[in-house]
Amino acid sequence: MSNLMLECSVDEYREIDCANFSTLKHGLRSAAHMRAALDHEFRPNAGMLLGSMVDCLIFTPADFHSRFTVVENLDRRTKEGKALVAHAEAQNKAIVDIDTHRQACNIRQAIQACRTAQKLLSGKAYQRALVWTDQATGVRCKALLDSVIPGLCVCDLKTTAHGAGWREFQRTVAGFHYHMQAAFYVDGWQACAGEALPYTFIVAEAAAPHGVAVYRLDDAAIECGRRLYQHCLRMWAECRTSGQWPGYADELVTLELPKWALAQVPGAVFTGDIQDPF
């Protein structure tokens, strides 16, 4: 099967039966978690919903009202509230309150005021859907790229509640495995377009004043992410073939404290870089 670049809606993209980052990342816990993510309907939390709104306002603003219903003082317990929810669900639209909509609009304004971000969002190749076959495993994969500037970079817009500062976002990338997503996406672009591009984040803070920062992910992080997604793809291929999706190891395991916790003991002496992740 050929590698493809598609023009499709978000809903059409979700219907494509391929491995994607959102499912594969659960394989870092266990195959059983991956299977659960595959089987259960995706329901975004409040942070994801805000990020989706910002993405839509930036990349496909004409689609906003076909994807979201903005309401004021929604009470899901009342007859009117239940009817509104049912109507929105029948149209496959997400319901958001007016304050969240205002927050998303303020974030969009902050992104548009950042000159570096605007340069990276000038490529016009927004929400590009990719479908390709991973050569090592034969698994069909898909990705929905926020923005691509051929010859320059793949660009990903992130809305964060954890701060957009360098060290804050460094921890966010590691904690949410964004480097795995980055490697998966740049390899997908190379498979479909024949072009190796670097990966760049545009990061916007969810809270006022909605600070915006732009980061290029380094090669070491991409290679680390590549090893992670390839591990999960092998797991995907093996489990689909065997029909078995095992959970955690069924054996007794000795648990140790991390070094940063041991370093909190009075009188303890440790060398090296020991950081409390909290």
Domain with 75, as residue range(s), is 4-242
Looking at the chain, the whole-number percentage of residues with pLDDT higher than 70 is 95
Domain of 234: which CATH number?
3.90.320.10
Residue 203 counted as domain residue: yes
Looking at the chain, the whole-number percentage of residues with pLDDT higher than 90 is 63
State how many domains the chain has. 1
Residue 276 neighbours by CB under 8 Å, 6+ apart: 260, 264
Interval 82-103: pLDDT, tens: 777 777 778 788 888 899 999 9
Residue 256 counted as domain residue: no
For every residue of 198-230, DSSP letters joined together read -EEEEEEESSTT--EEEEEPPHHHHHHHHHHHH
On whether the CB atoms of residues 128 and 154 are closer than 8 A, the answer is no
β-partners of residue 70 are 96
pLDDT of residue 85: 75
- Report residue 36: phi and psi, to 5°: -65, -40
Q: What does pTM read for this prediction? A: 0.87
pLDDT of residue 278: 45
Q: How confident is the model at residue 209 (pLDDT cuts 50, 70, 90)?
A: very high
Q: What is the DSSP letter of 68?
A: E
Residue 273 counted as domain residue: no
Residue 46 counted as domain residue: yes
Residue 195 counted as domain residue: yes
Structure tokens at 196: 């190796």
Residue 108 counted as domain residue: yes
Residue 252 counted as domain residue: no
Residue 212 counted as domain residue: yes
